[in-house]
Structure 1
């Protein structure tokens, strides 16, 4: 349709053509020869070939919903990573929630980011499944395209593809091609980007491609408080990739690859609106949510993600064989304190407590989250992509070993010193058998059938603790200001050697054993900590003699306070230590049926039914090593009717596609914060679920369960036309309804049962709209190229996108207790908004090896919530990227 590179977004519906401005000259330059498909053979730059069905085909000929965004197209308008896909594809929502990438497609997704959680939209990197996509944003360099498969992909992509899949496809080595490039970019927020690539032929049958990337920029936040210690969303990232392709014969292809990603900076804390909402401030009156009051210390992110893979293909006489094996290693380590509040007039007065503003700013309550994941995948597939039978049979195996840690400190607390989840042994395994076939009944009519059986197993061993030492005299007026977590504090993490505090095995946990357990979880106390001093010369280093002045008498390993003649008071332990022992096993079957008919070579009709399952699992134990309740898999069944059409309007070629879809979303898993007593009652009472004697019924834990069934339906349309003067116009439109039709009452997890028992009760959510599902979504793109004889080529792209109102939690902002005067802190509605992007490029006269580009992303600086977390004490909001702009130059050699 176009003499320049275009991103056709089809699927029964989509076409969002972000033009490949950086490649606009490619058809007339040597660069075109360097574009390689996955076999290392040259392709035309205006062909959009995808591997949605595990084989190469044109998007416009694919009977289903998919999106292809080329790497150059994304870069042309300033897209940096996967979270920037938010708002660019109708039905797709991507949010960076504290470093966790949450992907929702047409309302199907998951926000359970624990070691037990699974995404509902599977992320792949060159076809390799990524169970934990942290850090993968920095893989967005030297990429051929990003494929977004919309709708369940259970038979084709396996586990946890309930909503669909996102596949990042890199450029492969090109045979018999010497090619290299270097690119440098400068932007606002002191952004500096460098990336380079070299493709080296090794004889006539082999080649190697090496690519590297560096990105750094200052924080998108502005620290306007007195502390000025540093805030979130600064980045300093590096990545590299090497791939080796060897084709010793025309039948055998061996592709080996390895990559390394390192992300550092200050991560993603979000902005907590609890302070302004609690002081009657309208969030809409806060002009910039990233102008915040910081405290304590700057957040610190350290992510390492690397992997290796092998792909071997053999072209046989009767069928082809493909083996793919991979190993991925991820360490995500994030330590942070959250800002106290966004800035608004008078905010400092609200933060001034009894000890003055300085004491508020000097609170080192913090958290550290560590995910250490090693995963392996193996897939063996037998297939034939030549008709009339196109078929595929195979087996898949996945294994993941995790270490997971979450720790927090409660600085300056008399009754709370923090929590610890320390899980040294978290294992997951999954295997599947699958088959899929398409048969051409006639030259114009085809039918498809697919079936996949999957079995998942999960297990976990570890410990969870909530530390609550009652540090005070009998009237609790003695010895306030207990410090923990100050400068230099380090959790022991993986270095913990005591998992069970009952070290003598007598069945009773003494206060001394509790204290020893606590100290074992700390490798170093902070310079101004005094918990170690309170407990009289604890075994952990760190800190100076910081004993509170009234601690003038020490008895054994505990302390007493006799200052001012008050009664001494021992140190009882009011928290809980739970052994975590859980496992689950679940199996499920996915299938699909499809019929497609070519009315003409340019007009396609199709209908399909497809299913997808998201793996089930188990919860935290009820009490110390008590029952770990399990939950079943979620299931989505998609029904879709669509038509794809290419035609001429006069001499102008055009495209118009459309589809109707309906998703039956069953056994939807919701996660609540419930007290042990509520969980026991929910599961049938104490007769059905005995609670260990040493467990607190008031303790609040996270609890996931199959709670609802929903329906998701709508229509999508996309179109495009090639206008005169090399102008391209593309649009796409989605109408979406996603609502709960049947559900058990669920606990209002915006409230905490041990704090607000009258509000943390079960409520009906029937009829509620699913989170992150705008009713209307629209995108439009205008492109044009100006080739000249003397000045080279100029080109531009202007993109516009609209999202109508949507909610970010299942409660849709409803205040059940005060329906006529709802509290602002429960409001999770995001108002509708437009976004605009633009890019400009110039290729000087010559051989096209020099290229200049400029871009602006989010032209109008529209900043809106991508995710909102509402709890008893927090209303934390994560926002889309602010306006960014920059310029780059690229040289090819």
Structure 2
């Protein structure tokens, strides 16, 4: 707990929230008595069913999903899909994608510090390097059916949602490019006609956490409605500042002379004020978002939903920490010589029009997003202590001077609606991106005062993506039990890098001998840089993906399915304009879903085998002394696994949820290199540099076994209020953190952790919710790296959040 006053958002951030709060307060003032929320559809119950306490037995709510581009019951949908309701998101205190991972089988993720993004792995497949303007993720992210192509979108706050659907396995036929191993669709809460309602919530917690969120639904006559939603979350950083060892002047001179042929010419004492010891810490949150949604429904046949969303981030990046802290220091601390900063703003417009043609429905979904940002990051992680101003360590920054990503997408679908012998959907799709970035890496010997070791400015002014697709899918309902589905999609991608350059330090003694920064124009020869990488490139390619599936209804409450489907991720080009090939896979899957005990239990299981061709691998490397981002295609990869999900109402007041996953991975032929790891000298002199043969290794972020349990008991009180304690438990076996499989430093050991909460709900529509996350304060590595000599590497890692706690209170009106 804290009595620290709420910190006002910075200028420029307050406006959308102030508008949202004003609308919320105005709506609350004239809102009528709160109507009870509409109950979720319930599964059919046996009339004779009774609970253990003698009361009529309840049933689990029937969950409806849109995984097949039409609304269907989760238990009747022949796809491995996890549906996370809005209440589950609230119970798990989910505010961003990092909070979702433990709720979905076979799903892992990590924050990537230098770009401030979130990378997602599903069924053992992901792309830790999907943090650049080049790379695409393997898991496609959608908001209301609108594709979010850049990974920065994965960190956008999750607020005022109806729910999240996570589809596992390739979804290329209906959901399109980059859904190689899965699709995540976040569904925002929509306006409701003729309804005055809303909510507001505020909270405090550890690390000076302060949060507020709310929403209000406002009717605009009989045929239109508006919804205003907002959120702000902030907390201090987890990473404390270490103080540098301050060597005497004589010690500094000795170290300097030893590296300078015994001479003290040019010597300077270390300016210890260059080390950061105050101000915002790494791993801090300061995020704000607001959404304005409109619904126009002039007739029963036509509906138009449109929303405008603004997101702003003024937090700090996640720091990689020394896995073995230096003597006397805590794990959550670092020697910092680059102050953290993060500035990210995005504006998104999303629209969906639907028209009922009678037996058919026409839908047009469109979206536009503009993201811009900048940031500074301490890439040397403070692993070494400088012994003089040019010795003992290196100073390295990763600075995003500017980014600008623009994307648009359009999808037109026509599908059958009335039940018929053949259910079908046809669609056209178009998406385009126009991306640019300047990313600087200054590396200096010793401290910022030292001599330039290497410096590069990667300026990509215009990288475009143009993707077109046509698709169709049909299900033949052979009889009431047997359903056969086939689908095809053809995608054509056109990608260009126009004017991209890597500007590198040319060791010109007449140029300013200062670290590269945003005020230096590397394109001006007087500043000492030369164009080392000419990145102009043009890539085109296309692919047909397909689906074949058979579904059989074993009874009214059980079904089984078997499918073969393919996935595709586009090829492209990297630094130097070098092309890499597309990635594709074939997925074989069987599944079984059933509802038991008069609707009180669901049990879903799926088993799969994925076989990849030309599996894409990307990493920063050194070529001819220059750093660049390189891509290669492994011979392939194989992934097999089993996933189980089950929900159970033990009694009317006791709910248990279980999910488990078994995953086995194997990488095909690949010789890999990466600047993020200390690797041995290449075994093949022709390859040069440092590398490792990783053929047959396990893939990262793929524990062989993972288990998630959630149990909640509701205590009804005599006055009509309720109190509900809840515990979530997660266990997973050890998993590698890179394809290199380099030992303990590159591995997260098996661990278990738990979250607990206690919610008090008043019949007068207010509630209080107290929670503790990561109760045992486990140190959970989510990615790793190493530096120095291979035999004596210093290991660093990104970590999941430490133990945190908080209290929220809210009111529904």
1:70 matched to 2:85? The reply is yes
Q: 1:767 maps to what in 2?
A: 696
Q: How is 1:419-458 mapped onto 2 (pairs within 5 angstroms)?
A: 419-458=456-495
Q: Structure 2 CA distance, aligned partners of 1:29 and 1:134?
A: 38
8 Å CA contact retained: 2:380, 2:396: no
1:380 matched to 2:306? The reply is no
Q: Which is worse superposed, 637-646 or 872-881?
A: 872-881
Rate the CA distance shift 1:254–1:463 in 2: closer, same or farther, 3 A: same
1:173 matched to 2:215? The reply is no
Q: C-alpha displacement at 1:656, in angstroms? A: 2.6
Q: 1:327 maps to what in 2?
A: 368
Q: Structure 1 CA distance, aligned partners of 2:330 and 2:563?
A: 46
Q: Which has the higher contact order (CA 8 A, sep 6+)?
A: 1
8 Å CA contact retained: 2:605, 2:645: yes
Q: How is 1:426-825 mapped onto 2 (pairs within 5 angstroms)?
A: 426-460=463-497, 461-469=499-507, 471=509, 482-484=513-515, 490-491=518-519, 514-515=525-526, 518=529, 577-621=532-576, 628-648=577-597, 653-676=600-623, 697-724=624-651, 726-740=653-667, 742-747=668-673, 750-751=677-678, 760-761=689-690, 763-790=692-719, 792-813=721-742
**Deviation sequence 1:106-161 (CA, Å, 0-9, x none):** 11111232211111101111111001141553431111111111111000110000
Q: 1:82 maps to what in 2?
A: 97
Q: Structure 1 CA distance, aligned partners of 2:173 and 2:754?
A: 37
**Deviation sequence 1:492-511 (CA, Å, 0-9, x none):** 6xxx6x85x6xxxxxxxxxx
1:302 matched to 2:348? The reply is no
1:881 matched to 2:796? The reply is no
- Which SS does the other structure have where 1:868 is aligned? strand
How does the TM-score come out when normalised to structure 2? 0.83
Q: Structure 2 CA distance, aligned partners of 1:191 and 1:45?
A: 35
Q: Structure 2 CA distance, aligned partners of 1:294 and 1:391?
A: 58
8 Å CA contact retained: 2:60, 2:600: no
1:315 to 356, 361, 382: 356
1:93 to 108, 114, 127: 108
1:395 matched to 2:412? The reply is no
Rate the CA distance shift 1:312–1:872 in 2: closer, same or farther, 3 A: farther
Q: 1:830 maps to what in 2?
A: 748
Rate the CA distance shift 1:792–1:166 in 2: closer, same or farther, 3 A: same
Q: Which is worse superposed, 730-739 or 875-884?
A: 875-884
Which protein has the larger Cα radius of gyration, Structure 1 or Structure 2? 1
1:148 matched to 2:166? The reply is yes
8 Å CA contact retained: 2:679, 2:692: no
Q: C-alpha displacement at 1:748, in angstroms? A: 6.6
Q: Structure 2 CA distance, aligned partners of 1:871 and 1:584?
A: 34
Q: Structure 1 CA distance, aligned partners of 2:39 and 2:310?
A: 24
8 Å CA contact retained: 1:135, 1:263: no
Rate the CA distance shift 1:725–1:390 in 2: closer, same or farther, 3 A: closer
- Which SS does the other structure have where 1:155 is aligned? helix
Q: 1:228 maps to what in 2?
A: 277
How does the TM-score come out when normalised to structure 1? 0.76
Q: Structure 2 CA distance, aligned partners of 1:723 and 1:753?
A: 55
Q: Structure 2 CA distance, aligned partners of 1:589 and 1:128?
A: 21
Q: C-alpha displacement at 1:872, in angstroms? A: 5.7
Q: How is 1:397-412 mapped onto 2 (pairs within 5 angstroms)?
A: 397-410=430-443, 411-412=448-449
Rate the CA distance shift 1:455–1:491 in 2: closer, same or farther, 3 A: farther
Rate the CA distance shift 1:444–1:484 in 2: closer, same or farther, 3 A: same
Rate the CA distance shift 1:53–1:334 in 2: closer, same or farther, 3 A: same
1:839 matched to 2:768? The reply is no
1:292 to 334, 337, 341: 334
8 Å CA contact retained: 1:220, 1:233: yes
Rate the CA distance shift 1:365–1:704 in 2: closer, same or farther, 3 A: closer
Q: Which is worse superposed, 370-379 or 128-137?
A: 128-137
**Deviation sequence 1:369-403 (CA, Å, 0-9, x none):** 53310111111111113322221101000010011
Rate the CA distance shift 1:364–1:698 in 2: closer, same or farther, 3 A: closer
1:351 matched to 2:385? The reply is yes
2:310 to 252, 260, 264: 260
Q: C-alpha displacement at 1:59, in angstroms? A: 1.3
Q: Structure 2 CA distance, aligned partners of 1:103 and 1:716?
A: 18
Q: Structure 2 CA distance, aligned partners of 1:811 and 1:360?
A: 26
8 Å CA contact retained: 2:360, 2:418: no
- Which SS does the other structure have where 1:412 is aligned? coil
Q: C-alpha displacement at 1:743, in angstroms? A: 0.9
Q: Structure 2 CA distance, aligned partners of 1:731 and 1:51?
A: 23
1:370 matched to 2:402? The reply is yes
**Deviation sequence 1:541-583 (CA, Å, 0-9, x none):** xxxxxxxxxxxxxxxxxxxxxxxxxxxxxxxxxx753332111
8 Å CA contact retained: 2:485, 2:550: yes
Q: Structure 2 CA distance, aligned partners of 1:234 and 1:743?
A: 40
- Which SS does the other structure have where 2:661 is aligned? strand
**Deviation sequence 1:47-89 (CA, Å, 0-9, x none):** 3211111111121111110111123322323332101223332
RMSD: 2.9
Rate the CA distance shift 1:270–1:730 in 2: closer, same or farther, 3 A: same
Q: C-alpha displacement at 1:653, in angstroms? A: 3.2
Q: C-alpha displacement at 1:699, in angstroms? A: 3.4
Q: 1:106 maps to what in 2?
A: 123
8 Å CA contact retained: 1:748, 1:763: no
Rate the CA distance shift 1:286–1:110 in 2: closer, same or farther, 3 A: farther
Rate the CA distance shift 1:384–1:338 in 2: closer, same or farther, 3 A: same
Rate the CA distance shift 1:632–1:393 in 2: closer, same or farther, 3 A: same
Q: 2:228 maps to what in 1?
A: 210
Q: Which is worse superposed, 438-447 or 653-662?
A: 653-662
**Deviation sequence 1:612-653 (CA, Å, 0-9, x none):** 1111111222xxxxxx321221112111111112222xx893
Q: Structure 1 CA distance, aligned partners of 2:609 and 2:393?
A: 52
8 Å CA contact retained: 1:708, 1:744: yes
Q: Structure 2 CA distance, aligned partners of 1:433 and 1:189?
A: 50
8 Å CA contact retained: 1:698, 1:754: no
Q: Structure 2 CA distance, aligned partners of 1:652 and 1:65?
A: 20
- Consecutive unaligned residues of structure 2, counting only runs of 5 or more, are 1-32, 42-58, 245-275
Rate the CA distance shift 1:781–1:241 in 2: closer, same or farther, 3 A: same
Q: Structure 1 CA distance, aligned partners of 2:806 and 2:402?
A: 34
- Which SS does the other structure have where 1:33 is aligned? coil
- Consecutive unaligned residues of structure 1, counting only runs of 5 or more, are 1-27, 37-43, 343-349, 473-478, 502-513, 519-574, 622-627, 677-696, 815-823
- Which SS does the other structure have where 1:139 is aligned? coil
- Which SS does the other structure have where 1:156 is aligned? helix
Q: Structure 2 CA distance, aligned partners of 1:286 and 1:150?
A: 45
Q: C-alpha displacement at 1:218, in angstroms? A: 0.6
Q: C-alpha displacement at 1:45, in angstroms? A: 9.6
Q: 2:35 maps to what in 1?
A: 30
Q: Structure 1 CA distance, aligned partners of 2:329 and 2:635?
A: 38
- Which SS does the other structure have where 2:526 is aligned? helix
Q: Structure 2 CA distance, aligned partners of 1:35 and 1:850?
A: 21
Q: Structure 2 CA distance, aligned partners of 1:286 and 1:153?
A: 50
Q: Structure 1 CA distance, aligned partners of 2:618 and 2:684?
A: 18
